[in-house]
Chain A
Amino acid sequence: MNTLETTDIELGYIPLLDCTAILWAQHQGYFTEQGLKVRLVKEPSWASLRDRLAFGILDAAHCLSAMLPAAATGNDQLGIPLQTSLVLSTNRAFISLSQKLCYELKIHTQDTAQASAVKVVQALKQGDKIQLAHVFKQSIHHYCLREWLALADPDLAKKYQPSTLPPSYMVDAISSQLIDGFCVGEPWNIQSQIEGYSYVIAESKQIIPEVADKVLATTHEWANKHPNTLNALQTAIQKAQHDLSTLQSLQPIWHMLEVSDIIRFNCSHLVHTYAFHKIQNIIRSFGTQDRPKPDDFEWIIQQMCKWDNLELDTAQIKKISTQCTGDLI
């Protein structure tokens, strides 16, 4: 076995469904098996996680995939390059709209993504105030929301000003009519629907390609200095991912997610059967993730150019995408 360059790891995460593999690896002692002492650090916001990772307070972190190209282009205002060689989740977000909005605009859950977008855009053009939220400026959720609006009107999609809200506040915000809809991962769409505030009206898969959503990231510098440690860290998480796809029962994992305050509502397989199986399938999907692909980052950078007026040529986009996956040109 190769010598570990360091054994003490501070690993940052945001409590969401797609950090399950990281939590499970810790729970099962898979990091310890690799000779690592991992301390999991729950971060209160993506911005604080980004700052701590970039400036070396955290060694590695559960990151939004779009944070990597944002760092590479300096669009995150830090410009400290990050990289990943492990995907934690792939495009599995949903768009939810409040019951009131669905009723008023006659939006049905069976509507195609384009049909619902047309109804919302028409209302916006008539001067209705419809506030939609996503989780962070540099996220596939942000791009998904804009691409959805663009199915009806690309110009309006570009001008529209969505708000940002941490995922765990979405339900609260829609229940108090602060927002009318959101694009976020699970379990927030399900929770909001079960509690009666909103309907899931579109799936991100119908709108944007199958790109990485969350990844395990480190700075370039850290990865170069600690190749064996990084490898050990990934091996432990991959072992946890394997469990997610193969374990007969997800009951202990479900319990862990409830204790960690990620699943915050009663979701029983006897009552909320569809929701229960939907979440189970999502957890299973974390177990079968491919290696990060430069193509994913290319798409993300193109989105940044499209919506945030970033100007890059094809060669630059290719170069940055490759850097994000830790490969040298």
Chain B
Amino acid sequence: MPKLRIALIDDDIERASFIKSSLIEHDFEVVACLMIDHLNSTDLHHLYADVILLDMDHPHRDIIESCVSQFDLPTVLFTKNSQKDTIKSAIEAGVTAYIVDGIDPEKLESILEISIEQFKKHKKLLKDLNETKCKLADRKDIEKAKVMLMQMHQIEEEQAFSLLRKNAMSHRITMGEMARKLIDAQALLQANFKE
């Protein structure tokens, strides 16, 4: 039996390559990885794909959907052939697919599972990266605010740290945010002073 032919449409090349290798590992054939915009919308017809997987939030999804609906083969949204749970987790992960009607539902489920997994992993990676960036920024700002407090109140480092923490807690904000407030306030005070 011939392998199912899958085309991927994603503007995030990194994510697309993760999904591609994962699909190939599971013995699917990936015929194309495409980045599409309204000016270069590749003729999807010529791909002869059985499954077109794409980022649900692709800005040109309406264009892609209308191209797909004009295919010679009857193409449907994956939601027609899938379990409700799969549909929900796909939508939450942000992945969608157009498929040639009548393909083996079991195979479709496993293709979707693989891409949902990769979309989730990718989202987590981005989140982790963002958090790390925030943490680094926090650490720098906390350090700066601590020094300010030490100089202002003539106190030790440890006391300055606990003063900052206590205030952050009472305002229900993070220490990083508290530190930034303090830095901003000081900048404002200094600006006034200079005038």
Tell me the A residues contacting B by CB distance below 8 Å: 44-48, 51-52, 55-57, 77-78, 135-137, 161, 163-166, 169, 172-173, 176, 178
Contacts and interface: CB of A to CB of B under 8 A. Distances in A.
B149 interface: no
B88 interface: yes
Given A51-B91, A77-B79, A169-B38, A164 B59 contact: no
B38 A45 contact: no
Interface string B35-72: 00011000000000000000011111111011001100
B43 to A, nearest CB: 12
Interface in B62-119: 62-63, 65-66, 69-70, 76-77, 79-80, 87-88, 91-92, 96
A47 B88 CA distance: 15
B112 to A, nearest CB: 14
B60 A163 contact: no
Contacts, number: 65
B194 to A, nearest CB: 33
Contact of B61 (A48, A161, A163, A169): A48
Given A45-B59, A51-B56, A55-B88, 9 more contacts: A44-B61, A48-B56, A52-B91, A77-B77, A137-B69, A161-B70, A166-B38, A169-B38, A172-B38
B96 A45 contact: no
A163 B39 CA distance: 12
11 contacts: A44-B61, A45-B60, A45-B62, A48-B57, A52-B91, A55-B91, A57-B91, A164-B65, A166-B59, A172-B39, A178-B39
Given A77-B79, A77-B80, A165-B38, A47 B91 contact: no
B146 to A, nearest CB: 36
A75 to B, nearest CB: 10
A321 to B, nearest CB: 24
Q: Which of B66, B70, B92 has the most CB of A within 10 A?
A: B66
A57 B100 CA distance: 26
Contacts of B87: 55
B121 to A, nearest CB: 20
Contacts of B38: 165-166, 169, 172-173, 178
B98 to A, nearest CB: 9
Nearest to A178: B39
Contacts of B62: 45-47, 135-136, 164-166
Contacts of B91: 51-52, 55, 57
A78 B77 contact: yes
Contact of B60 (A78, A166, A176): A166
Interface string B16-34: 0000000000000000000
B70 A47 contact: no
A56 to B, nearest CB: 8
Given A44-B58, A57-B92, A137-B69, A164 B63 contact: yes
Given A55-B91, A57-B91, A77-B79, A137 B57 contact: no
A163 B59 contact: no
A48 B59 CA distance: 9
B12 to A, nearest CB: 14
A47 B94 CA distance: 12
A59 to B, nearest CB: 14
A173 B77 contact: no
Nearest to A77: B77
A46 B91 CA distance: 14
Nearest to A308: B69
Contacts of A56: 88
Nearest to B61: A45
A1 B191 CA distance: 51
Contacts of B66: 136-137, 163-164
Given A51-B96, A169-B38, A178-B38, A44 B80 contact: no
